[in-house]
Structure 1
């Protein structure tokens, strides 16, 4: 499976509506605190928008809702992986992406036979408090050697200036949250990411 090199992560369908029409081909809907009805409405709206713009939607964490809403991709962190039913996810035909931060988590992830593995944080990140130090480009090379032929997603502190180094180290896709969502002009920054990742498609 090939992932688009530009992997946008947002926390609402409103962001999907705003940025996906610019040419985004891969987006994760990552909503942490919301009731089930609200989540379902967000997933439904994002799914319709992505279908309209030929963009692949990945639902973070909420795998049961993803199954019920007919989505085809979920992303799980290590804690969520412990409580998720992999047989149900597979039976529904849903692809699976997993987060990893150290070698133990990588082993756990690979045992679940994911469709991609994410490694982070590559650089310092402001998105959330991390107990892991920035991994750096050398860790990307190591991880890539361990996960081949599964795609490797780099995440954490990425910006357009750092992308060439990340891809040259072996990442197949670069995930971004705050460099776009906290930018004064998210649309312009999204276009910059799309342009910068074009050569890696």
Structure 2
């Protein structure tokens, strides 16, 4: 299975966010996520310098390969290239996608954060491989970012090509997930609730089953 085929089968997207994971827990927490069958994982390390992020990425890349999980670096295409990651995730202000595609190649997985239907369609138009859509609810992961709610999920997915991966994100947890799915979502990113859960591996398994991935 190539990277894009693997991406299309993903329903649950995990993020090792260094805002919630102590550095000495980086490998154990990642292993717990992967042991649950997670198929796509991003390293997000805001407020760390690029060299430090690259060092962390070098530790995670072989672990993800061992488990057959796509490994994505947040924000830094050069780091993704240097460590042999599967791709990169870009924010709205992280430059144009075409130049990143030129750097990483056609097989790389490139995602874009989007916060409105217009941005979602724009990301698809610039040939992102997937989008994050949110934040749906207020979230401590992105303080100050206004929640966009659930109203646009179904219509955005109808306007995008069939099976284009839309990963809804922002404040999704065990309590809010049912309403997100009811609103039409079929792919989600779960960050803080999963990283701080007492049973990470079991919860990944349960979520994948609930999303129809397992």
- What is the TM-score when the length of structure 1 is the normalising length? 0.84
| Whole-Å separation in 1 of the counterparts to 2:51 and 2:100 | 24
| Whole-Å separation in 2 of the counterparts to 1:130 and 1:44 | 31
Structure 2 stretches lacking a partner, 5+ long: 19-25
**Cα 1:36–1:131, aligned 2, differ >3 Å: closer, same or farther?**
closer
**Cα 1:190–1:107, aligned 2, differ >3 Å: closer, same or farther?**
closer
- Greater helix percent: which structure? 1
2:19 counterpart of 1:6 = no
State how 1:1-201 maps to structure 2 within 5 Å.
1=5, 2-11=8-17, 13-14=26-27, 15-82=29-96, 85-89=99-103, 91=105, 93-136=107-150, 138-149=151-162, 150-197=164-211, 199-200=212-213
**Cα 1:24–1:103, aligned 2, differ >3 Å: closer, same or farther?**
closer
1:185 shift after superposition: 4.0
Which secondary structure state, in structure 1, belongs to the residue aligned with residue 62 of structure 2?
helix
How many residue pairs align between the two structures? 199
- What is the TM-score when the length of structure 2 is the normalising length? 0.80
The Cα RMSD (Å) is: 2.5
Structure 1 stretches lacking a partner, 5+ long: none
1:126 shift after superposition: 2.2
- Superimposed CA distance per residue, residues 157-185 of structure 1 (whole angstroms, 9 cap, x where no aligned partner): 11234434434544341101011123344
**Cα 1:103–1:92, aligned 2, differ >3 Å: closer, same or farther?**
closer
